[in-house]
Amino acid sequence: MSVKVCMGNEAIALGALAAGVSVAAGYPGTPSTEIIETLVGIHKPGVSVQWSTNEKAALEVAAGAAYAGARSLCTMKQVGLNVASDPLMSLSYIGVKGGMVIAVADDPGPWSSQTEQDTRGFAKHANLPVFDPSSPEEAYMMVLSAYEFSEKYSLPAFLRPTTRVCHASADVDFDIDAEIKKSDGFEKRPEWCIFPALSYRRHGELEEKQGEMARDFDKMPYNRIEGRGRKGVAVSGVSYLYAKEAIAELGADVLLYKVGTPYPMPERLTKKFISSVDSVLVVEELDPVVEEQLLIEAAGRVPVLGKRSGDMPKNGEYSFEIVKKALIKYLGLPQEKEEREELPQLPVRPPVLCAGCPHRASFYAAKVATKDLKKAIYCGDIGCYTLGNAAPLNMVDTCLCMGAGITIAQGLALADAGAKCLAFIGDSTFFHTGIPGVINAVYQGTDITVIVLDNRTTAMTGQQPHPGTGKRALGDDAPALDIETILRACGVKRVSRVNPFDFESAVGAIREAVGFAGVSAVIAEAPCVAQLKKPEAICFVNDKCIKCGRCIKEIGCPAITPDEAGRAVVNAPLCTGCGLCACVCPVSAIERGERNGK
């Protein structure tokens, strides 16, 4: 055994290695990304690690490995589970042979997600067990237990860390020298093929297993009752640590029910807890999953307070302060006076595209190219380029979910005949779920323009490779799939490639694509600025500046600001010398030069 200070996501990866995992597949998404990245960094021989094209593919790869008896891991963030939900729901009926853990990181807050959805709800919907760690140490141990549980019941098991568990750090005792659990090979049998008669039988078996698992969870150390008193507090996930610390600080007599496996709830412990208290306060982030199960168990005999009663916030991430305040109210303690000095408010810093980001040039080129259209609608997607919605670009009118920009554009084109619809999509998202939308547009004969913002990486989550980069997760070479070839194979008749920093050419290419009747595409190719070394070139503002502010108002580059007199000033450490601002300046007051002097 070794001891290491590691993040929760690292602990999950180490736990999988300690359990003998041999196949791990995922799609990057905060707060889950570092699980796969840790496995890539360790690169244990015999363990296959991949960034899949999307979460559905990752889940299916992991399921296939588990069919053959291998232990597999699938990772994603909570919205990725929506993409993977189709195979998930059938997989709970088919089951697995080797242990399979589906690690889905939830994002209360949300810090970087479209939704605040709760994976525990999916677990209940799919009739699958879920482990909800309260700390990195517990996350490591729960991975080991989840594999054993998965194999015992021949079902995948969920691990559901939240942001604070994923990104908090703690000492973890780990052992990654454990032997890889070898696959004993796929055994052909009818039960691997889902048919109505099998589904009917398996549904009944699944329901029976819920009770068996609930009784099994009674024996696990992650579920326990602590303390004393007739006031009960039930907690799940990281809220356990907040509540435990607050109870200790308040010196209160409270019976604390730690629920580490919120679905199905431990059977005996839950009955014992409800029968031991006069009332219950439930503390859990996101949905009232534990609260609703306790309400059923209490059946009106004991008041169960929480989100439904308005005693806990219904949304957002919890904190020690929030939990302590709720406990003071629940326990009838006097409210504390605010003695802490108010900290000054942080300045408002709206998220913006990086200085030198090629997406800014692409958006601005599209804006110029479509300025004379009677009506243009810009459909965005999930990625760095979502930030194109901010002023002054204002080039993202819609954004729903991964890959939806192209299909949303098709719906808008059908409903608003007078509008020209443009869909922006990143290269990684194109491979994730963009391609089916292109096929549908061609098949339906819809008149839209797709602009693929190809910066050669999955930028927002940390530069992970994808099928267009020519690299796999472990850094080895792979066939680089060509986006233009795929677009043409999908039936797109007009495809052009441009460098968005070649501004006039980019404007011309987009203008021609927009004028094409039918599906057209422009691939805007330039590497993500985060992948580049500090360029030697930099932009300077010369004496010709007329203080018009156009370079600031038009493109919104964070490297350019006005000085007190209104002259444009380039912030040298931020500038990448991309030259887009020089294209905007009406009097040639911006020019490029060497970083260390003209």
* Each residue's pLDDT tens digit, 178-197: 899 989 999 999 999 988 89
User: pLDDT value at position 267?
Assistant: 97
Pick from 538, 598, 594, 596: which is nearest to 569 by CA?
Answer: 538
- Over range 491-502, report the average pLDDT: 97
Q: Is the pLDDT assigned to residue 345 strictly greater than 80?
A: no
User: pLDDT value at position 338?
Assistant: 66
Pick from 379, 390, 582, 363: which is nearest to 453 by CA?
Answer: 363
User: pLDDT value at position 415?
Assistant: 93
* Each residue's pLDDT tens digit, 498-507: 999 999 999 9
pTM of the model: 0.91
Q: Is 581 annotated as a binding residue?
A: yes
Mean pLDDT for the chain overall? 94
Question: Which of 113-117, 340-344, 362-366, 580-584 shows the lowest mean pLDDT across its residues?
Answer: 340-344
358 CB-near residues (< 8 Å, 6+ apart): 453, 455, 500, 501, 524, 526, 527, 528, 529, 578
Q: Is the pLDDT assigned to residue 222 strictly greater than 80?
A: yes
591 CB-near residues (< 8 Å, 6+ apart): 539, 540, 542, 582
User: pLDDT value at position 410?
Assistant: 96
Tokens of 334: 């006097």
User: pLDDT value at position 336?
Assistant: 76
* Each residue's pLDDT tens digit, 54-111: 999 999 999 999 999 999 999 999 999 999 999 999 999 999 999 999 999 999 998 8
- Over range 190-205, report the average pLDDT: 92
Q: What percent of the chain stands above pLDDT 70?
A: 98
Whether the Cβ atoms of residue 229 and residue 256 lie closer than 8 Å to each other = no
Between residues 339 and 157, the one the model is more confident about: 157
User: pLDDT value at position 537?
Assistant: 82
What b/e sequence results for 2-25 when a residue is b if at least 16 CB atoms lie within 10 Å of its CB, and e otherwise? eeeebbbbbbbbbbbbbbbbbbbb
Q: Is the pLDDT assigned to residue 593 strictly greater than 90?
A: no
**Other Cβ atoms within 10 Å of 344 Cβ, number:** 6
Q: Is 6 annotated as a binding residue?
A: no
User: pLDDT value at position 32?
Assistant: 96
Report all structural domains of the chain as residue ranges with CATH numbers, in order of start.
2-218 (3.40.50.970), 223-331 (3.40.50.920), 358-531 (3.40.50.970), 537-594 (3.30.70.20)
Residue with tokens 């730690």: 258
* Each residue's pLDDT tens digit, 390-427: 999 999 999 999 999 999 999 999 999 899 999 999 99
Residue with tokens 């997989």: 91
* Each residue's pLDDT tens digit, 527-577: 999 988 877 788 999 999 999 999 999 999 999 999 999 999 999 889 999
User: pLDDT value at position 235?
Assistant: 98
In whole angstroms, give the CA distance from residue 22 to residue 49: 8
DSSP 3-24: EEEEEHHHHHHHHHHHTT--EE
User: In which band, very low, low, confident or very high, does the pLDDT at 176 lie, cut at 50, 70 and 90?
Assistant: confident
Backbone angles phi, psi at 450, to 5 degrees: -100, 125
HEC sequence for 396-419: CCECCCCCHHHHHHHHHHHHCCCC
User: pLDDT value at position 569?
Assistant: 93
Pick from 186, 138, 144, 146: which is nearest to 164 by CA?
Answer: 138
- Over range 441-453, report the average pLDDT: 97
Enclosing H/E stretch for 212: helix 196-217
Q: Is 401 annotated as a binding residue?
A: no
User: pLDDT value at position 7?
Assistant: 95
Angle (nearest 5°) at CA 581 between 580 and 584: 95
User: pLDDT value at position 340?
Assistant: 65
In whole angstroms, give the CA distance from residue 144 to residue 20: 9
Q: What distance, in Å, lies between the first and last C-alpha atoms of the chain? A: 58
Whether the Cβ atoms of residue 47 and residue 13 lie closer than 8 Å to each other = no
User: In which band, very low, low, confident or very high, does the pLDDT at 351 lie, cut at 50, 70 and 90?
Assistant: confident
* Each residue's pLDDT tens digit, 286-300: 999 999 999 999 999
Pick from 84, 247, 235: which is nearest to 162 by CA?
Answer: 235
In whole angstroms, give the CA distance from residue 190 to residue 148: 25
Pick from 536, 584, 538: which is nearest to 559 by CA?
Answer: 538
User: pLDDT value at position 1?
Assistant: 77
For the beta sheet containing 494-498, the strands, ordered from the edge strand earlier in sequence to the opposite edge, are 376-379, 420-426, 448-454, 520-525, 494-498
Whether the Cβ atoms of residue 429 and residue 382 lie closer than 8 Å to each other = yes
For the beta sheet containing 231-236, the strands, ordered from the edge strand earlier in sequence to the opposite edge, are 224-227, 255-259, 231-236, 279-283, 304-305
Q: Is 585 annotated as a binding residue?
A: yes
